[in-house]
Structure 1
Amino acid sequence: MIDLYFAATPNGLKIKLFFEETGLPYRIKPVSLGKGEQFQPDFLLISPNNKIPAIVDNAPLGGGAPISVFESGAILLYLAEKSGRFMPQDARGRIEVLQWLFWQVGGLGPMAGQIGHFNVYAPEPVPYAIDRYTREVARLYGVLDRRLADRPFIAGDDYTIADIAAYPWIVPHQAHGQSLADFPHLERWFQAIAARPATIRTYEGVESAYVRKHISEEERKHLFGHGAKQG
């Protein structure tokens, strides 16, 4: 059994999506970000960057003590290797997946997260930031759209962890100030993944993290206000 420390953010949902696709046994350990549970000492032993998701594999390959993993890209790679799913075995196929996985965790996710923040959570509009990140996310959507022009999935003919990593960051495209109609190849890919049974199960009952709603000052402090000393 694998414990998934989870909140319904795009990064959390990508790991849940992997589990639903593979059928690996897992149990969700909810982490309330607004209550600051990500700063609890026990959680920091698993995820020293005080972020979700994180996992604890209580039955790792080869036996021995449980293995904990933080950072969503590392988790997807670990789970792909454990399950033998969604990662090519040949060198060329593997590097195709890895470079697009790293593209997501180093580019698409952080930039989409910034525009999501300034469009939804910022206490007041910051026009420069909104313009800056809207344009950068549009550029990244364009990169993905061109990539998908001649292949069904990001790394080629097969669905992989590159697709699992990217999809949850396209789900809130409206909050990112984007229309998928402007990116027809990306939209085709998006609709195909949205229709997969595992995707439907993953998102059933999930409230979008990018819906504007009132958050208290205490929640804002836990979500956005911690510095170096507090984590």
Structure 2
Amino acid sequence: MPDSITTLGFDADDTLWQNEQFFRRSEMHFADLLSAHAEVADLSDRLLAIEKRNLDLYGFGIKGFTLSLIETAVEVTEGRVPASIIAEILAAGREMLRHPVETLPHVQETLEQLTDQYRLVLITKGDLFDQERKLALSGLGDFFDAVEIVSNKDKATYERIFNRHGDGAERAVMIGNSLKSDVIPAIEAGSWGIFVPHELTWVLEHVEPPIADSRFRQIQHLGELVPLLAEIG
């Protein structure tokens, strides 16, 4: 069929493997380190504001997060943060960059079923080295026809990627756990967008689902993806 789906885009972090939980653990450790200087809620608000402010400078990923932790520590202590706390923050960042890859349920068998039927493209944002490391450790790399590690995900990103690696956005589906980054901009580009919620999602990725859009779908886990793709064509 001329309008049949030929290309599937997959997000990586918290769609194929665990990611946000490591940020949450580091933030809890950070709150313990700064407990003498700020309440947990206030510290979290200030960190979020600094992360948001730094996105255009550092982009997404662990390195930018670590720098934002340090900046927050300097700010809440009015420049008096001990060097020992800075050292612990840096150590926590390095530990995040070394954490093992924990593949989410149903990922392996779903990709095995889809790899001969569609072009599979991994589309992820974040630090280049860290994303490449996680993909290599996951053992999932051979399933994908292409890998795109991008600084941001918007309508133009999906138009470009699905034109490069597929038959255009209209014949593609994007699957991911972020409505803001994975689903809505892909739909704006003309693709289908399939939302796979994760129990932990960064607050800056929270937006309302586009439930009125005919190309929006939601599943509970990737084990439901194959029958849904058969349904939508």
Q: Which has the higher strand share?
A: 2
- State which structure, 1 or 2, has the greater radius of gyration over its C-alpha atoms: 2
TM-score w.r.t. length of structure 2: 0.35
The alignment's TM-score, normalised by the length of structure 1, stands at: 0.35
